[in-house]
Structure 1
Amino acid sequence: MQLHNKLSKEEAIKKLHAENFTRKTLSFYRYVILEDPQSFRDELFIEWDKLACLGRIYVAREGINAQMSVPEHHLEAFMRALSSRAELKDMPIKWAVEDDGKSFFKLIIKLRPKIVADGLDDGSFDVTNVGNHLSALEFHESLDQEDTVVIDMRNHYESEVGRFENAICPDVDTFREEIQMVVDDYSDKKDSKVLLYCTGGVRCEKASAYLKHHGFNDVNQLHGGIIEYARQIKQLGVQSKFIGKNFVFDERLGESIDGQVISKCHQCGAACDTHTNCANNDCHLLFIQCEACKEQYHGCCTDECKEIIALPEEERIQLRSKFHNTYSKSQIYRQRIRPKLNHS
């Protein structure tokens, strides 16, 4: 019985583009204790593979975090299958704002220690004592209230292309770094009304409980995250207070919320919010690149990477270990990409 997708990336992409039906991109999460995460994971793979679902799903003892692409003609069956499981019954679903049906090309379900890497000892605080869940409209109206602190619980590369007006956007690479930084750096805001937001809401669940544990008295979180905010605000005909693009962790790498471009190409400084991964697979850095620079640098983040991809494979193999041992992704960004952006 097949429990993993065995297609190569190239084969999976070719198969996806050959489909003659439409897909819907969705996401969901739930903190729920799973007694046997491995069996739960395997059962989901068999079930969803039969429905031709694609996506990236993390399963842990503490629950599930899923971003998926489901064939439109299988949506009803998919939703029935979700509800048939006690752990997933009545699951709130977030639907993509911009959706070309090509968000994922494989079904990948991984077992993880946690559904979001936060670095926290869950036994040291009450993870169920979360902040107030605000609807899109409630969050929207709270943004203008006095003595309100709005904190973006995402990474710097996410907030760089889109964020709520007047939000605090910590300059961090990971959620693990940010959650402790917020507690330490904003301890003077414990009596203020704190508004937290992230992509779909899952990071704010843990963050709000951690802030409350550390004495923040009025912690609130955007229910359903930016994805649900964008959907509801559009339905209500209200002008969005989220500006720019919502970064998403799939092949799209982002979906525009209000049409504004608030970020710059990391290489020339031109207005741009298109993320890409460096064409040098030994680097694969995520950065913002305009079409002109994409052509000039051959899809690479620096001249160094452009030179590397032009080398024969034998020489690239020799350079590989040196490259990996010398630079981390964050070091590459901070030492080689950011200076270019600041200079521009």
Structure 2
Amino acid sequence: MQLHNKLSKPELIARLNAETFKRKTVSFYRYVNIHNPEEFRDKLYLDWSSLNCLGRIYVAHEGINAQMSIPEQNVSAFCDLLDNSKELQNMPLKWAIEDDGHSFYKLVIRVRPKIVADGLSEDVFDTTNVGNHLTPIEFHELAQNPDVFVVDMRNSYESEVGHFKNAICPNVSTFREEVEAVVDMLADKKDEKILLYCTGGVRCEKASAWLKHHGFKDVNQLHGGIIAYFREIHQAGEKSAFIGKNFVFDNRLGERITPDVLANCHQCGKPCDNHTNCAYQPCHDLIIQCDECKAKYNGCCSDICHEHQQKGTSHHRFHELVGKVNKRKAVNR
């Protein structure tokens, strides 16, 4: 009984490229008690492998967080499998806005302590005391009010390429830093209306509970996140208040929401919002890189990485020569 992938990355990509059918990318999450995450994980792997599903899924005692790619012809069967599980019944699904069918090339299901690595000690606040869930239309209408505070609960590399107009976008790189920064930034706004949003909604569950724990009275969150927002706003014929790209955690690294390009290439500074991972594998840092710089540096994030890529410097030797922090300082941002 095979419960994990045994093929190499080149083999998996070749198999994906050879497919003659279309795929659909979907994300979903749920906070729900899972008594035995390991057993639950193994059953999911067997069921979803049988439908040729791909993706990255985290399972924990507190629930599930999934981003997946499903063969179009198997979508109905996949939904039936969800509804046949008491933990996953009536799951709200968020389908990708842009989809090239290559969001994932293998199925990975991992058991984790939490479904989102938030760095928060949950014994000090009530994680079930969350904010008011707003539909995309409700969020859209309230966000137009200049007296409310719209807060991006994502990391800065996500908000850099796209965000709601006039949103507060803290310059942070982890969720723990994010929630602490928001509490500090809005310390004198605890009686005001706060609107939180993130990619699919899962981070706002913890963030809203954290803010309420710290005395914020009117905390609201975008149910279904940016993905649900754009679909519903588009169907309603409204102009999106979210501009730019929505960063996604799969091989696509972004979905175009509006034509606005908000960011700049980290190397030359020209307008650009295309994320890429440094082609030098010991680094693999995430940057924004234009096509010209991609060609100039052969997909690397800096002169240092490009040089060591050319030399074929090993992972161990690279980190002896230059630490991550110093390497990042060499990138012209």
Letter in 2 for 1:178: E
- Structure 1 pair 307–79 and aligned structure 2 pair: CA distance change class (3 A): same
Counterpart residue number, 1:273: 273
Secondary structure of the residue aligned to 2:314 is helix
Q: Deviations over 1:54-110 (max 9, x none)?
A: 000000000000000000100010000000001000000001000011100000000
Residue equivalent to 1:52: 52
For 2:302 and 2:272, how far apart are their aligned partners in 1? 17
Find runs of 4+ consecutive structure 1 residues off by over 6 angstroms. none
Identity, in percent, stands at 60
Whether the 8 Å contact between 1:161 and 1:262 is mirrored in structure 2 is: yes
Of Structure 1 and Structure 2, which has the larger fraction of its residues in helix? 1
Query: Displacement, 1:318?
Result: 5.5
Q: Distance in 1 between matches of 2:262 and 2:250?
A: 21
Letter aligned with residue 252 of structure 1: R
Residue 233 of structure 2 corresponds to residue 233 of structure 1: yes
State whether residues 130 and 205 of structure 1, in contact with CA within 8 Å, keep that contact through their aligned partners in structure 2.
yes
**How far apart, CA to CA, are the structure 2 residues paired with 1:177 and 1:332?**
22
Say yes or no: does 1:184 pair with 2:184: yes
Aligned to 2:148: 148
Q: Distance in 1 between matches of 2:316 and 2:151?
A: 44
CA distance in 2, matches of 1:296, 1:33: 50
How far apart in 2 are the matches of 1:227 and 1:262? 19
Aligned to 1:198: 198
Deviation at 1:185, TM superposition (A): 2.7
Secondary structure of 1:25's aligned partner: strand
Rounded to whole Å, the distance in 1 between the matches of 2:206 and 2:330 is: 33
The superposition leaves residues 243-275 of structure 1 with CA deviations (integer Å, 9 ceiling, x where unpaired) of 000000000000000121111111111111110
Deviation sequence 1:23-42 (CA, Å, 0-9, x none): 00000000001100000000
Cα 1:318–1:49 change in 2 (3 A) is closer
SS in structure 1 of the partner of residue 11 of structure 2: helix
Structure 1: stretches of 5+ with no match in the other structure: none
Q: Which moved more, 1:70-79 or 1:115-124?
A: 115-124
Matched residues, number: 333
AA aligned to 1:291 is D
Conservation of the 8 A alpha-carbon contact between 1:282 and 1:323: no
CA distance in structure 2 between the aligned counterparts of 1:236 and 1:332, rounded to whole angstroms? 47
In the alignment, the residues of structure 2 paired with residue 131 and residue 22 of structure 1 have an alpha-carbon distance, to the nearest angstrom, of 38
TM-score using structure 2 length: 0.97
The runs of 5 or more residues in structure 2 that have no matched partner are: none
Contact 2:282 2:315 in 1 (8 A): no
Residue in 2 that maps onto 1:14: 14
Task: Work out whether 1:327 is the aligned partner of 2:324.
Answer: yes
| Cα 1:223–1:323 shift into 2, 3 Å | farther
Q: How far off its partner does 1:320 sit?
A: 2.9
Q: CA deviation at 1:126?
A: 1.3
Q: Against the structure 1 CA distance between its residues 323 and 119, is the aligned structure 2 distance closer, same or farther, given a 3 Å change threshold?
A: farther
Structure-1 residue corresponding to 2:219? 219
In structure 2, the partner of 1:63 is: 63
1:182 counterpart SS class: helix
